[in-house]
Amino acid sequence: MVQYHRLIIHHGRKEERFRVSVEEVGSSKRAKQKFLSFLFLSILSCCFIISPYLFGFSALSLLDSFIRENEALSSYEPALAHVCSEVSNGTICCDRTGLRSDICVMKGDVRTDSATSSLFLFTSTNNTTNPEKIKPYTRKWETSVMDTVQELNLITKSSNRSSDRVCDVYHDVPAVFFSTGGYTGNVYHEFNDGIIPLFITSQHYKKKVVFVIVEYHDWWEMKYGDIVSQLTDYPLVDFSGDSRTHCFKEATVGLRIHDELTVNSTLMSHGNKTIVDFRNVLDRAYSHRIQSLVQEETETTTTTHDLKKKPKLVILSRNGSRAILNEDLLVKLAEETGFVVEVLRPDKRTEMPKIYRSMNSSDVMIGVHGAAMTHFLFLKPKTVFIQIVPLGTDWAAETYYGEPAKKLGLKYIGYKIMPQESSLYGEYGKDDPVIRDPDSLNDKGWEYTKKIYLQGQNVKLDLRRFRETLARSYDFSIRKRVREEVPNLFVS
């Protein structure tokens, strides 16, 4: 389950109202604009001092959320250069300006000591600096999960040949240290908090880099080894499980992250890379295994020419909460519309290349909002992505999947269900705030959102209403195929 208590989240709707109210005051009383601005700033300043005592957490969190949004927006402005982009030999530089993660760079004689969770930088001078501490995970602002992440000590020491730790393994390429703890185990967080930031941080090394994993898991390497092999030519190092002293000339501790499931080209210090470049990495990572899968299927099945001509629609099916209760009827309707339909039910044991192949070969993908929507990254640009948006999930659906999908070049359609299409309608009734005003429930906090809208809701599609979305998607897919087959007839 995606964790919603994020950088700028719970009060996204309130922040918008807050800004509107300020604008309305300014426009209606322009003659007193300067006075009101001064008064507003004065009141705002006072609120920071007295609000915890007078109004409690919710009032303060609204103000804090508003400030954080402005900080977040400014943080994504194109930077001329990363802090610590140039580090002198024998020094440690830490960039703690990011809202999502810290990054430290060590240059010189770097040696690991897993027993004390430390990295030592040995220097020939006595000018040692204060030790640094860092948790190499990309959810810096979220203290509840960061409290569970292993902390590393970065220590500068004067070299003393007789007592220095002896290098058991010497590497002639840089290292990147990162954690696979935190929310690892959820596919959204595995890509958003780990795999994509790893690409952002390491791609400029052109595979000449060693990845050292804090809180290493065998299953993680098995699951994502194909992708990792496209980013490094070297075996992974299990920081805690490998007691040997590994020595490097340079080490980056922590990962850079831009936004939800995306790569911001203006923030890439080495080359103009985008999320499409990341997807190209996925293509290369899974190509060999997919060829084997195709060969296996060719030997056991026969696909008719007519089926090959039809657009393919994949339904990412859910079990438990947020399931499509009339999924069988949806399949029938999609087939009547003209699609070849595949219902995909991935679990933790499903090979990633198999999921990738299904998505990569599809024309349309349908799924209900949830972590599995992360698989939109496996769709080719210009593919139709229909996200069914249950009650109470509008903001999260758009922020975590809708906007990133558009950046990948997908034809994104957010199908916001009507109250009658939610199982909550029969449980609570049309006049209950759960149905009538979901935002008021979300404003009470993450636990309400999780219990009611994520864990307690299923969807029964109004197929007469959804038919139009399917028809539009079918027409778009057919037009796209024609353009691809006869490109000279169309202006790109």
pLDDT digits (tens, 9 = 90+) for 154-201: 999 988 765 677 999 999 999 999 999 999 999 999 999 999 999 999
Q: Are 182 and 101 in contact (CB under 8 A)?
A: no
Q: CA-CA distance, 404 to 395, in Å (whole number)?
A: 13
State the amino acid at position 490 in one-letter form.
F
User: Do 248 and 212 meet the contact criterion of CB atoms below 8 Å apart?
Assistant: no
The whole-angstrom distance between residue 180's C-alpha and the CA centroid of its chain comes to 14
Q: In angstroms, rounded to a whole number, what is the distance separating the alpha carbons of residues 462 and 27?
A: 43
> How much is the mean pLDDT over the chain?
85
CA dist 55 and 53 (Å) reads 6
Q: Which of 353, 365, 355 is nearest to 314 (CA)?
A: 365
Judge contact between 1 and 186, C-beta under 8 A: yes
* Residue 326 pLDDT exceeds 80: yes
- Number of neighbouring beta carbons within 10 Å of residue 417: 22
Contact 336, 345 (CB under 8 A): no
Q: By C-alpha distance, which of 235, 255, 259, 295 is closest to 105?
A: 255
CA 131, distance to chain mean position in Å, is 31
Q: Which tens digit of pLDDT belongs to each residue from 260-301?
A: 999 999 999 777 899 999 999 999 999 998 988 888 777 666
Give the predicted TM-score (pTM) of the model: 0.83
8 Å CB contact between 360 and 376: no
Average pLDDT over residues 436-462: 95
Strands 103-113 and 91-95: antiparallel
Q: CB-hemisphere CA count at 13 Å for 325? A: 12
Query: Among 274, 276, 268, 239, which residue's Cα sits nearest to residue 114?
Result: 239
Under 8 Å between Cβ of 335 and 341: yes
Phi, psi (rounded to 5 degrees) for 451: -70, -45
Give 37 or 386, the one with higher predicted confidence. 386
Residues 286, 282: Cα–Cα separation, whole Å: 6
The full length of the chain comes to 492
Specify the 3-state DSSP secondary structure of 167. coil
Quote the radius of gyration of the chain (alpha carbons, Å).
Answer: 26
The pLDDT assigned to 206 comes to 96
Give pLDDT, residue 299: 67
Q: Tell me which residue has tokens 């300014």.
A: 26
User: pLDDT confidence of 36, banded at 50, 70, 90?
Assistant: low
Contact status, residue 274 vs residue 258, Cβ threshold 8 Å = no
Is the pLDDT reported for residue 369 higher than 80?
yes
Segment 379-388 shows an average pLDDT of: 97
Of 164-173, 330-339, 357-366, minimum mean pLDDT range: 164-173
Examine the pLDDT at 364 and tell me if it is beyond 70: yes
Nearest to 87 by CA among 111, 103, 98: 103
User: Distance of CA 35 to CAs 39, 68, 314, 462, Å?
Assistant: 6, 25, 58, 53
Q: Which residue has the tokens 């080719």?
A: 380
Reading the block at residue 181, the tokens are: 């703890």
Give dist(CA 90, CA 156) in Å, integer.
Answer: 8
